[in-house]
Amino acid sequence: MPEDFYKTLGVSRGATAEEIQKAYRKLAKKYHPDVNPDDKKAQDRFKEIQNAYDVLGDTEKRTKYDQFGHGFEQMGGGPQGGSWRHAGGGGGGAQDFDFSDIFGGGGGGFGGGGGDAGGFSDIFRQFTGGGGRRTRSAPVRGSDLHHEVTVPFRTAVEGGEVLLSVRRGNSVETITAHIPAGIEEGKKVRLRGQGEPGPGGGPAGDILINVHVEPHRCFIRNGKNLEVKVPITLQEAALGGKVDVPTPHGTITITVPPNSSSGKRLRIRGQGVKPKSGDPGDLYAELQIKMPNELDEKAQDLIRDLGKLYDEDPRKDLSW
């Protein structure tokens, strides 16, 4: 038996139009597909609520529903009714249903939405998209607006804000959008309810911001990890030392081991990208020996003497 529309909305049969509308709005807000995008049961429940309100929210339909129950939609065909062919049934073939036979001449036997008429109404509604002309429809959600923004490397790592010029209808306004820390190239930021207004007072759409990230002149990002090339002097490479390195979280001091060659990588834990949730990444500092632009004759002699002390071929393992 189909569910009673009054029970669907949780109101009594003597409820006023205002009480019915208030109950509908409360339930529609709770079960609306926009609020429950992945909940099939909630979406089905919303359809039941909408169907009930389409009838009880219309004075003429409500009067007929109170008199004839769920079969009221087929009462407009006159005393002779009409016929509808339904495939299937016990005989395996098409069956002819005559409305006057089902409704019983003068329309007796339709009280309270019970009996066969209610079952037939449910089947008929499946084939006609709900049966009858709908005088009210579900609130229509507004359109989403799409924007592209390019943010500095630092903003993508640390988070920050950007300004957007948004056109809604014939007006343009500037709004502020928050960029979360750790966002990656090509990810989207959603501003809920900031899109086009819904027609007829429906909920507004969203703004979807596609984020692009400018490259950094020193740092490279690899997931949550950061990589940076750190120049060191010949003395620091040979004897070791401590050098300062800037990071998104402040300047840190790293120790260069003695006898470090260019390309040596030092891992500094937790100094990479720190997303809103989860563990931070690491910073990889790649050492690069930086020679002076010019060497005087004394410096050249010292290097020649050093080369005589350590004559090992650095390219002995180089092969094709």
| Average pLDDT rounded to a whole number, residues 158-172 | 86
| Average pLDDT rounded to a whole number, residues 167-171 | 77
Higher pLDDT, 34 or 313: 313
| Average pLDDT rounded to a whole number, residues 232-260 | 95
pLDDT tens by residue, 11-32 = 998 889 889 988 988 898 888 8
- Per-domain boundaries in the chain: 5-128, 145-213, 219-309
The position carrying tokens 């004394």 is 298
Going from the C-alpha of 283 to that of each of 154, 246, 266, the distances in angstroms are 15, 11, 8
Ranking 53-62, 74-83, 161-170 by mean pLDDT, the lowest is 74-83
Q: Which of the four pLDDT bands, split at 50, 70 and 90, describes residue 88?
A: very low
Residue 75's pLDDT is 59
- Quick check: do 5-128 and 219-309 share a fold? no
102-106, 199-203, 270-274: which is most confident: 270-274
Would you give the distance in Å from CA 1 to the centre of its chain? 39
Residue 263's pLDDT is 95
* pLDDT tops 70 at residue 78: no
Q: Which strands form 207-213's sheet, in the order they lie side by side?
A: 145-151, 207-213, 188-191
Q: Which of the four pLDDT bands, split at 50, 70 and 90, describes residue 320?
A: very high
pLDDT averaged over every residue in the chain: 80
User: Would you identify the CATH topology of the domain 145-213?
Assistant: HSP40/DNAj peptide-binding domain (2.60.260)
Check if the beta carbon of residue 27 is closer than 8 Å to that of residue 33.
no
Q: Which of the four pLDDT bands, split at 50, 70 and 90, describes residue 137?
A: low
9-18, 76-85, 208-217: which is most confident: 208-217
Count of all residues that appear for the chain in the document: 320
* pLDDT tops 60 at residue 135: no
Q: Which of the four pLDDT bands, split at 50, 70 and 90, describes residue 94?
A: very low
User: Would you identify the CATH topology of the domain 5-128?
Assistant: Helix Hairpins (1.10.287)
Check if the beta carbon of residue 177 is closer than 8 Å to that of residue 209.
yes
Residue 84's pLDDT is 35
Q: What percent of the chain has pLDDT over 90?
A: 43
Angle (CA) 179-181-186 rounded to 5° is 60
Residue 244's pLDDT is 96
The whole-angstrom separation of Cα 235 and Cα 219 is 25
The yes/no answer on whether domain 219-309 falls in CATH 3.40.47.10 is no
